[in-house]
Chains A and B, each alone.
Chain A
Amino acid sequence: MIYLDNSATTPVRKEVLDTFVTVSENFIGNPNSIHQLGLKSKKLMKEATEQVASLLNVRPQEVIFTSSSSESNNLAIKGVYSFYPKRTRKIITTKLEHASVLETIRAIGDVEVLYAPLDEKGHVDLMALERLLQQEPLLVTIQHVNSETGLIQDIDRIGQLIKKYPKTFFHVDGTQSVGKLPIDLTYVDLFTFSAHKFFGLKGIACLIKKDSVGLSPLISGGHSQSNYRAGTPSVALIASLAKALRLALEEQNQTYQHVLALNQYLRTSLSTLPQITINSNEEDSPFILNISIIGKKPETMIHQLEAHDIYVSTNTACSSTDPFSSTLVALSKSKEVAKSSLRISFSKNNTEEDLKTLIKILREEIL
């Protein structure tokens, strides 16, 4: 099997699954119970939380565990707007955001959305952003790495700009960057990421919420792991996330170099094929290479590749029923390009051999 859909999800790694199983079997107490068994679970949860906090350079009470990045995005956006009813109802975002951001904003209803202008490559135009910031929106929400093309936004510089406006918070969706690129949360107030993108389990994610931000919970009813999300915490999932994050960060450098080499190899090889347009910029995240083969339907190509046990995606898995990629349209490419795009996304487990096979099948059967 050649799995090149790692931005949709990654397979769980054995060490992480082992932790999940061991904790599920041996830590049976509810961390809210005050007897020994509860205390044991609580202690593990506390250590796991501290580990996550220290890996991301935040404080333990700033870590909120959720079920998915989508939930984290919902909690960040809805939570802030509900906590500050008297501040402006404006929000800045981009047209490239994930559905769990754009649809959440729509769901709030009474907010005025200001789309940050982008330069020709898709980066947020900082001068234009600064002008929008003068309207003092309550929140700016921008993804770190785009899930379709790998476009990287400069969250450091954006964050520094936003810091000049004390009534504006900065939310970053880091789902496609944690475990892949260096993360610095100095200027970030709220930060989303999910374990299954770096060989953790599905069903566990995080929202980092700095102490300076107020937030209303989406799920009320207690404060066992955090005041911002009620429900009996899954200690096994939480421990598994802490471990997956540690391993990913320990290997991050090696993984990055490995994936960068793969990306460059594929990019170079495909650029000799005239039918192929490469949509990702050279400086985008090497974990994603987005290409288009004009005139071909992505669904057909995916199934053709699947017949050879090769797995890639159209646009993001979460919106693959949409007719074409709105991100690619927004990135001022043509609808033709957007309609025929494939996303190839790498991980540490891929090899150059995988890519040779992919290129061979593309040439022989698709082009």
Chain B
Amino acid sequence: MLKNWTNIFIYHIRNNKFFTVLNILGLSIGIAGLIFAILYWNDEHAYDKWNPEKDKIYNVMNDFGGGNIWTTNSPIPGRMLKETTSYLEQYCYYRPYYTKETIQYNGKIELVDKIFSAERSFFSFFPFEFIQGNAKTAFSDRNSMVLSKETATRIFKNENPIGKQVKYADRIFVVRGVYKLPEKSSVMPAVVTPVVEEELEKNKENWGFNYGLMLKLKKQSDTTAVIQNLDKIFLEDNYKKQAKAEGLSLEQFIKQYGDPIKSRLLPLSRARLFQGNYAFPEKNGNLQFLKIVMGLSILILILSIVNYINMATANAIKRAKEVGVRKIIGASKSQIIAQFVFETTLMTLFSVLLAMVIVELSLPFYNSFLEKNLVLIGAQFYFQLIVVFFAVILVSGVFPAVYISNFETLKVLKGNFSRSKNGVWIRNGMLVLQFSIATLFIIGSFIVYKQVNFMMEKDLGFNGSQVMDISFKPQKGKNQYERYKAIKQELLKIKGVEGVSAGMFSIGSNENSWQGLHYKANKEVITQQLPMDFGQLNLLGIKILKGRDLNPELATDSISSALLNETAAKTLMVKDPVNQDITFGGQKFKVVGIVKNFHYIGLEYNVAPMIFFHIKAFDWMTNDMRNITVKISPDQMPETIAAIDKFWKSKVDQEYPFEYDFVDKNFARTYKKYQDQRNLFALLNVVVILIAVFGLFALASFSMERRLREIAIRKTLGAETNTLLKELSKQYVVFCIIGFLIGIVPAYLLMQKWLENFASRIEIPILPFLAAFVSLLFLTLTIVLAKAYQVTKVDVLRYLKYE
């Protein structure tokens, strides 16, 4: 039986080479798209799977209200929770970010990225496999350092690193262990040190939210109790104490400062794809993008399956006689179904193989696009591939097979069946579906394109194209601010440098620091602080709307004058905020000016309330400077940069390399992921349109070729080509319009939802809808008319004589 089936299958392939190839190609593109999405999906879901402790580990997050959920914590609650309750096996504070610093060994300097610091309990939370040393003794003292295998090889080459001394952060550390990194982990450091413990010690009574905090619970069921206790700790140790210090009752205090912070627990297993602030230094995956990729690839697969079904049912008419004969000589319905499912299975098999080839060839591009390192292996992946394989067969094979097996034998054999209307509604319905999906894609990619362009062209409120943001690493025993003042003088002497200033912030980066702003009896406003040197606003082209900038001539301006941005000014709720007295971070300031709002983080977010004051306003800040901004002339930029580089390396920092970024480029990174989405959408758009065009062409060909006799008769009766063309293409235009009308609803809703990501966004314009309509109609007419024209040129005699 298989041989018989195969013979007839091969016969049809031979006689329909063109359509078979297109069909397989379409299906394989659809499957390839899904494979890409699955690889991405698996990669993101593979994080922390290796960790045997993952089900017991939770990250503590703090809900400040109003959608502000921080993943950082004060050093207090972890310790207190451990002391007062019995839920914890352990807790661990860590820095939720990596640093990039130099490590010296034997006078050789290596610049190492992904340096991480956590408390000693870290290795029981992330039990990396130790190649040398062991987890217990790794952090035997505060000068311990543990390296990943790669880092150890880089620094020590062939030497045994254990017990060796290295210089890092102006201190001597002893290497006590070497570990192997797991494949995917929320923490994948090159170096781990316990230096954070000193900071924690120093700030152990401080309620500043600066550290990541992991808890390892004894029982998963204790989460609710743990949250209750964390909330209680905050209320008792923070709010009640503060209220007492200010002489307020708790109720009054809450009224003024808002509700106390609510704790939340984020399980480690969900940390990677958590949408919000990242809790671990490897940061979060882009869940939304992942969902978009997955959704779109499924849509494309559906599109190609629809094509396949259309082709199969259209083709079936040609094979009606075969089916009829088979039935008469004894084939049962299930045998007919089996035969056609068998054919689909072979087609799907070819398509899957071709899809694998497509994926294998284009994986490097995909990887560089996602900045990942995906590979086509893994038991999980092959299992999923088999599932996809059977799902495709099920959807695209069974349906046409059942349809075919239901042919009425007698009608088929009596002839005329090939011109019957059988199944025409299914195919037309499918065609409408394809038009809808195409509409969705065209409109979607157009709107994404517009929004991304809008972001790229938007006036951000600052001008960063000439401004270099140079990273400025501290040196032991020297005050950063004093160093900066000396460097500034030198930099200004370099030709092409137009201005030098500094701020304890970096536009477009994740660096931000917040404190409470108080004005009279108003409720506390959590405000982003932007300490800076004189001239910084001017350097960045940030406008002042009212009042004045900080002035070096006025002694008070470096101590107690501040500017607010428009958002912050609004929170004072007074007509003229200039000259008002405010309290910020426990210090009194006078508002001297209002700064025009500018975007600091991505355009997804509204501009936060901001306060600007001089770095020296808070004593402790002068040592925390990490950036210097330099404005250079647009002429001869490379020469100027080279000169700064030379100066920097010889006079400022011999160890750490000269690192800078232009402020506008820095900011552009915040919308890079949306540029990626735009490019992806554009690419998929091309694929979708190709598949849809092919589907339309195939279907139009089939249905027109079935009407050849009719056309021949009409021509004999004197029909003109124009009339015939109109007659033949009319229905496709109608389907195109119906499909478009169905497609615009989901397109509108989905794009509305996508645009909700952005605080600064476009309204959905009409143009994409018009463009989608016109381009779809144009494509439809081109294809259908071309085919129809070809059909009207048939040899009349041949078809009249036939049958």
A binds B: no
